[in-house]
Amino acid sequence: MADQDALSKVELGKIASRYLRATIAEELSEPTDHFSDASAGILKFHGSYQEDDRDLRSGQERHYIFMVRTKIPGGRLSSDQLLAELDLCDQLGNTTLRITSRQGLQLHGVVKRNLWPVIHRINEVQLTTLGACGDVNRNVMCCPAPFKTAVHQTIESFSDQLARHFAPRTPAYAEIWLTDVRTGQQQKWDLQQQPEQDGAAGDEVEPIYGRQYLPRKFKMAIALPQDNCVDVLTDDLGLVAVVESGQVCGYNVYVGGGQGMTPSNKKTFPALGQPLAFAETGEVLGVVEAVVKVYRDFGNRHDRKRARLKYVVHDWGIEAFRAKVAEYYGKPLREPASVQLQDFDDHIGWYEQGDGRWFYGLNVENGRLKDTGTMQLKSAVREICRTLRPAIRLTPHQSILFADLAPDQRPELERILRAHHVPLSEEISQVRRWSMACVAWPTCNLSITEAERVLPGIIDQLESELERLGLEDERMTVRMTGCPNGCARPYNCDIGLVGRARDRYSIYVGGRVLGDRLNFLYKDLVPLDEIVPTLVPLLVYFRQARQPGESFGEFCHRLGLDALRQWVESTEAAPATADRS
* Interactions with ligand SRM, residue window 195-224 (CB under 6 A): 219
Whether residue 444 lies in the annotated active site: yes
- Judged by beta carbon distances under 5 to 8 A according to partner kind, the member of ligand SRM, ligand SF4, none in contact with residue 258 is ligand SRM
Peptide bond into 442 cis (omega under 30): yes
Min dist CB 439 to ligand SRM, Å, is 4
Q: Binding of ligand SRM at residue 479 (CB under 6 A)?
A: no
Nearer to ligand SF4, 62 or 357 (CB): 62
Distance CA 407, CA 411 (A): 8
DSSP label of 487: T
Whether residue 487 lies in the annotated active site: yes
Of 76-84, 237-245, 391-399, 435-443, which segment contacts ligand SF4 by CB under 6 A?
435-443
Q: Binding of ligand SRM at residue 363 (CB under 6 A)?
A: no
Looking at residue 493, its amino acid is: C
* Interactions with ligand SF4, residue window 468-507 (CB under 6 A): 481-483, 485-487
Helix (H) or strand (E) holding 242: strand 237-244
Q: Exactly one of 14, 21, 44, 69 is catalytic; which is it?
A: 69
Q: For the window 108-147, what string marks contact with ligand SRM as x by the rule CB under 6 A?
A: ------------------------------xx--------
Q: What angle do CA 505, 65, 215 make, to 5 degrees?
A: 70
Nearer to ligand SF4, 320 or 525 (CB): 525
In the list 137, 268, 447, 492, the residue contacting ligand SF4 (rule: CB under 6 A) is 447
Q: Exactly one of 169, 217, 382, 512 is catalytic; which is it?
A: 217
Nearer to ligand SF4, 93 or 499 (CB): 499
- Alpha helix stretches (DSSP H) within 29-78: 37-43
Return contacts of 171-176, CB within 8 angstroms, 24+ apart. 171/19, 171/205, 172/18, 172/19, 172/20, 172/21, 172/24, 173/20, 173/46, 173/130, 175/21, 175/25, 176/21, 176/24, 176/25, 176/28, 176/46
Q: Report the candidate in 394, 475, 466 with the shortest Cα–Cα distance to residue 435.
A: 475
# residues near ligand SF4 by CB under 6 A: 13
Three-state secondary structure call for residue 160: helix
# residues near ligand SRM by CB under 6 A: 30
Nearer to ligand SF4, 446 or 521 (CB): 446
Q: For the window 304-343, what string marks contact with ligand SRM as x by the rule CB under 6 A?
A: ----x-----------------------------------
Contact at 8 Å (CB) between 128 and 70? yes
CB atoms within 10 A of CB 198: 8
Whether residue 306 lies in the annotated active site: no
Distance CA 402, CA 416 (A): 13
Q: Binding of ligand SF4 at residue 532 (CB under 6 A)?
A: no
Q: Binding of ligand SRM at residue 100 (CB under 6 A)?
A: yes
Q: Binding of ligand SRM at residue 444 (CB under 6 A)?
A: yes
In the list 47, 75, 258, 496, the residue contacting ligand SRM (rule: CB under 6 A) is 258
Whether residue 493 lies in the annotated active site: no
Nearer to ligand SF4, 395 or 481 (CB): 481
Of 192-200, 241-249, 338-346, 440-448, which segment contacts ligand SRM by CB under 6 A?
440-448
Of 109-117, 253-261, 424-432, 472-480, which segment contacts ligand SRM by CB under 6 A?
253-261
Which class for 4: exposed (0-12), middle (13-18), buried (19 or more C-beta within 10 A)?
Answer: exposed
Contact at 8 Å (CB) between 473 and 479? no
Residues in the chain: 581
Looking at residue 30, its amino acid is: E
Q: Binding of ligand SRM at residue 260 (CB under 6 A)?
A: yes
Contact at 8 Å (CB) between 209 and 134? no
Min dist CB 505 to ligand SF4, Å, is 12
DSSP label of 104: -
**Region of residue 387 (phi > 0: left; psi between -120 and 50: alpha; otherwise: beta):** alpha
Contact at 8 Å (CB) between 247 and 155? no
* Interactions with ligand SRM, residue window 381-410 (CB under 6 A): 398
- For residue 371, report the phi and psi dihedrals to the nearest 5 degrees: -105, 125
Q: Using alpha carbons, list the distances in angstroms from residue 358 to 99, 147, 153, 269, 410.
A: 22, 9, 16, 41, 8
Q: Binding of ligand SRM at residue 487 (CB under 6 A)?
A: yes
Contact at 8 Å (CB) between 64 and 187? no
**Region of residue 78 (phi > 0: left; psi between -120 and 50: alpha; otherwise: beta):** beta
Q: Binding of ligand SRM at residue 293 (CB under 6 A)?
A: no
In the list 440, 466, 476, 514, the residue contacting ligand SF4 (rule: CB under 6 A) is 440
The three-state DSSP-derived secondary structure of 492-538 is: CCCEEEEEEECCEEEEEECCCCCCCCCCEEEEEEEEHHHHHHHHHHH
Min dist CB 367 to ligand SRM, Å, is 6
In the list 51, 227, 465, 516, the residue contacting ligand SRM (rule: CB under 6 A) is 51
Contact at 8 Å (CB) between 133 and 67? no
CB atoms within 10 A of CB 375: 15
Nearer to ligand SF4, 17 or 100 (CB): 100
Helix (H) or strand (E) holding 447: none
Q: Binding of ligand SF4 at residue 451 (CB under 6 A)?
A: yes
Whether residue 483 lies in the annotated active site: yes
Whether residue 138 lies in the annotated active site: yes
Known catalytic residues?
69, 138, 217, 219, 438, 444, 483, 487
Binding positions for ligand SRM, rule: CB under 6 A: 49, 51, 67, 69, 100-102, 104, 106, 138-139, 219, 234, 258-260, 308, 367, 398, 438-439, 443-446, 485-489
* Residues near ligand SF4, by CB under 6 A: 438-440, 444, 446-447, 451, 481-483, 485-487
